[in-house]
Amino acid sequence: MDKPRVVAISQARMTSTRLPGKVLMPAAGRPLLAHHLDRLSRTPGLDAVVLATTVNATDDPVAECAESLGVAVFRGDEQDVLGRFAGAAALARADQVVRVTADCPLIDPVLVGRLIAAFRDDPSLDYLSIDSTRYPRGLDAEVFPRRLLDEAAANATDPAEREHVTPYIYRRPERFRLGTALVPVEPVEPPDQRWCVDEPADYELVRRILEALLPSNPAFGWQDCCKLLRDHPDWMDINRAVRQKTLH
């Protein structure tokens, strides 16, 4: 049997409701999106990376940023994120899809690689994710077969399932085999960290982390971020008041 083609698809657009233009905001001399895609592209076990953005002219700079890094781009309807993912998966001829979001500039390629390996090692699984309640928020990733993405795109009618891509799968445990989410080997210290960028306070924290770590350790991992925050405990207060957006 041929090895499945594993493709990471990330979504990005300029019209974020809470922080418009966030994916192209600068940190350490590059847009956040460039950091995100560069880190994602170093994931072991990954065959390709695709950016799914919209057909809106406002997202031309998003597409240009990805293309300048050699990342393929699929453009579709702004409201139908599920449809965009299905189109991106078809463009990349994916067999398995890793879903991530571009508001996670500190995404850890080693951790995503661990997710891919765990999914590969249990062929019976339909879905596997990283436990974002146990890891710092902003390392999130999910993996599933493209056939389920195509099924979801064809059948999902709930607006939340069109917007968030994977609820069609994980809301149906009676139909699909959901794996136990990956958790850290040891408790994360400090706990309750938030590294995704939704609001200005999130951007300030992530910008500081990137500018502190990149010069001396370009391949830094999530544990390096934790160590930095242990060294600068006051940084944890920067975005402590930000609340995660919930599923509609």
CB environment 103-112: b (16+ within 10 A), e (fewer): bbbbbbbebb
Encode pLDDT of 149-183 as tens digits: 999 999 999 999 999 999 999 999 999 999 999 99
Q: What's phi and psi for 244, nearest 5 deg? A: -70, 135
**Distance (Å, whole) CA 81 – CA 31:** 22
Identify the CA nearest to 224 among candidates 197, 248, 188: 188
The candidate with the shortest Cα–Cα distance to 208, out of 176, 178, 231, 186, is 231
pLDDT in tens, 68-112: 999 999 999 999 999 999 999 999 999 999 999 999 999 999 999
Cβ–Cβ under 8 Å, residues 27 and 19: no
Coil vs helix vs strand at 9:
strand
Q: Which DSSP string do the residues of 28-80 spell out, in sequence order? A: TTEEHHHHHHHHHHT-TT--EEEEEEESSGGGHHHHHHHHHTT-EEEEE-SS-
- pTM for the model stands at 0.96
